[in-house]
């Protein structure tokens, strides 16, 4: 399988997993989805079918569901991962995002820079945790996992669990 065939061709989020969100959260989710589809490295571990792949992300009962299919809709694999290892990081990231958006609105550049550095560090921590959880299940690179982590946060934030 060539690297060109190891990518996502489509991405969807479960509408039931999406509660009411803020404009900032909706924007961050849309940007992450757009960026993810523009450039990514993604394949089920040990894939025997070439990509591109279709990914449907959902959250159900505290578990993240990665439903991976061919672009024609043939089911390849569904991974159910507990969100528990990511909860604290998601909560921290959510709080930093709120502070970041507040700092943007109040035009405090020095505070904005400090918060943004902390936000990026927490985001990287979440990405590394996600990559460890996907190890042996989904082959991906750091940038792809980073965008997927953003989507996971948007699911949790929209449900109000980012602050739980």
Helical spans, DSSP H, in the chain: 23-38, 87-106, 109-134, 142-158
- Asked if residue 64 lies in contact with residue 84, where contact means CB atoms within 8 angstroms, the answer is no
User: For residue 7, is pLDDT > 90?
Assistant: yes
Asked if residue 164 has pLDDT above 50, the reply is no
Number of structural domains the chain divides into? 1
Does 5 have pLDDT greater than 60? yes
Residues paired with residue 56 on neighbouring β-strands, in sequence order: 12, 67
CA 89 to chain CA centroid, Å, is 13
Q: Please tell me whether the peptide bond between 52 and the residue prior to it is cis, using omega within 30 degrees of 0.
A: yes
CB 66 within 8 A of CB 57: yes
Q: For residues 75 and 71, give the distance between their C-alpha atoms in angstroms, rounded to a whole number.
A: 10
Question: Which tens digits make up the pLDDT trace of 93-124?
Answer: 888 888 888 888 887 778 888 888 999 999 99
Among the listed residues 55, 21, 58, the one whose alpha carbon sits nearest the alpha carbon of residue 41: 55
Q: What is the pLDDT of residues 134-156, one digit of tens each?
A: 999 999 999 999 999 988 887 76
Query: Which pLDDT band, with edges at 50, 70 and 90, does 85 fall under?
Result: very high
pTM: 0.83
Angle ∠(134,63,24) on CA atoms, nearest 5 = 90
Q: How far is residue 114's CA from residue 96's CA, in Å, rounded to a whole number?
A: 10
pLDDT range class, residue 73, cuts 50, 70, 90: very high
CA–CA distance, 153 with 52 (Å, rounded to integer): 24
pLDDT at 159: 47
pLDDT digits (tens, 9 = 90+) for 10-67: 999 887 765 555 676 677 778 888 989 999 999 999 888 888 999 999 888 888 899 9
Domain that holds residue 117: 3-163
């Amino acid at each position: 399988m060539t690297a060109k065939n190891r990518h996502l061709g489509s991405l969807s989020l479960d509408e039931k997993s999406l509660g009411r969100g803020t404009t900032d959260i909706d924007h961050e989710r849309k940007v992450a989805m757009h960026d993810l589809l523009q450039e990514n490295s993604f394949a089920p571990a040990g894939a025997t079918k070439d990509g591109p792949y279709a990914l449907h992300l959902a959250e159900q009962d505290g578990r993240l569901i990665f439903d991976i299919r061919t672009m024609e809709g043939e089911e390849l694999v569904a991974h159910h991962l507990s969100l528990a290892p990511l909860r604290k990081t998601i909560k921290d990231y959510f709080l930093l995002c709120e502070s970041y958006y507040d700092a943007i609105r109040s035009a405090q550049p020095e505070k904005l820079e400090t918060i943004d550095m902390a936000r990026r560090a927490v985001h990287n921590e979440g990405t590394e945790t996600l990559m460890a959880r996907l190890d042996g299940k989904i082959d991906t690179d750091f940038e792809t996992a980073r965008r997927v982590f953003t989507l996971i946060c948007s699911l949790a934030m929209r449900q109000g669990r980012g602050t739980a």
